[in-house]
């Protein structure tokens, strides 16, 4: 199976091509240059592999949470490519992909994934590794103040993501007794989005291009508080 994946939800612009389990990844730390970089990075990756968009079995993208602008860029690019190539799309949680990367790189099975959501808040999810490289949420993805994150069940948790870099003191005060280690500089990678997306598409869970939508947790909270 050939899966193209992309993520622009953070300062990093990341593209991956997964071909029969083997990954090619390009990542560049380039805040505010995602629109400029993403398409040339995709073209370069496909050229290196010697394939075109028509050879792809599907496309995966980081659907959020993350930077509003970045998530919109990834969604738009994913929709455009998938529509033109007539391939299914797998919208992938960036928090799940972060936890998956923490497992892949460091062998961590229980990850408290946190991104800096600005405005004194974090995007947060407790993720546990399951069989065949899968990670599952224990609870839901949320956005909240660091001092209000849900306490994770059990012990042996590893903190990962920019939320721990910015709000490490507050988060440790809240859940420190259950945390055995930190990876505050770990970022979401298109590699892990590709791995998760491949499983979704193989299971028939891909969607059509027009149905590929971003997830803005803060917007959802505002909508629930202020229905119109």
Q: Which of 53, 37, 38, 49 is nearest to 6 (CA)?
A: 38
Looking at the fold, whether 82 and 104 belong to one and the same domain comes out as: no
- 98 and 73 within one domain: no
Task: Give all strands of the β-sheet with 22-29 in edge-to-edge order.
Answer: 22-29, 12-19, 2-7, 58-62, 89-92
Q: Both 50 and 61 in a single domain?
A: yes
Q: Where are the beta strands (DSSP E) in 56-184?
A: 58-62, 89-92, 110-116, 122-129, 135-137, 142-144, 157-160, 179-183
Q: 202 lies in which domain range?
A: 2-93+188-225
Q: Judge if 7 and 89 occupy the same domain.
A: yes
Count the domains in the chain: 2
Domain harbouring 175, CATH code: 3.30.420.40
Task: Say yes or no: 123 and 142 in one domain.
Answer: yes
62 and 120 belong to one structural domain: no
Q: Is the pLDDT of residue 225 over 60?
A: no
Whether residue 164 is found in the same domain as residue 141: yes
Query: What whole-number distance in Å separates Cα of residue 85 and Cα of residue 56?
Result: 8
For residue 226, pLDDT beyond 70 = no
Reported as a pLDDT band with limits 50, 70 and 90, residue 219 is low
Query: Where a domain ends, among 149, 167, 183?
Result: 183
Residue 128 token pair: 């546990």
Note the pLDDT of residue 177: 85
My answer on whether 101 and 177 are in the same domain is yes
Residue 10 and residue 67 in one domain: yes
Q: Are residues 202 and 143 in the same domain?
A: no
pLDDT per residue as tens digits for the range 164-184: 999 999 999 999 888 999 999
Three-state SS at 123: strand
Tens-place pLDDT, residues 68-120: 999 999 999 999 999 999 999 999 999 999 999 999 999 999 999 999 999 99
- Statement to judge: residues 172 and 128 lie in one domain: yes
61 and 98 both lie in a single domain = no
Q: Rounded to whole angstroms, how far apart are CA atoms 71 and 184?
A: 21
- Please give the model's pTM, rounded to 2 decimal places: 0.94
């Amino acid at each position: 199976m050939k899966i193209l994946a992309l993520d622009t939800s953070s300062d990093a612009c990341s593209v991956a091509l997964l071909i029969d389990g083997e990954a090619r990844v390009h990542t560049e730390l380039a805040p505010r240059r995602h629109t400029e970089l993403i398409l040339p990075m995709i073209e370069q990756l496909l050229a290196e592999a010697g394939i075109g968009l028509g050879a792809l079995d599907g496309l995966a993208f980081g659907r959020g949470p993350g930077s509003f602008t970045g998530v919109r860029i990834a969604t738009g690019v994913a929709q455009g490519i998938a529509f033109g190539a007539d391939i299914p799309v797998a919208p992938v949680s960036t928090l799940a992909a972060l936890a998956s990367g923490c497992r892949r790189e460091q062998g961590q099975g229980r990850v408290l994934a946190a991104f800096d959501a600005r405005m004194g808040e974090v995007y947060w999810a407790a993720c546990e590794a399951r069989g065949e490289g899968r990670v599952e949420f224990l609870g839901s993805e949320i956005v909240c103040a660091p001092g209000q994150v849900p306490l994770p069940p059990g012990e042996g948790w590893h903190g990962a993501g920019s939320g721990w870099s910015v709000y490490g003191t507050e988060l440790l005060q809240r859940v420190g007794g259950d945390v055995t280690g930190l990876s505050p500089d770990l970022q979401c990678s298109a590699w892990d989005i590709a791995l998760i997306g491949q499983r979704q598409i193989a299971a028939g869970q891909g969607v059509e291009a027009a149905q590929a939508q971003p997830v803005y947790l803060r917007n959802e909270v505002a909508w629930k508080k202020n229905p119109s």
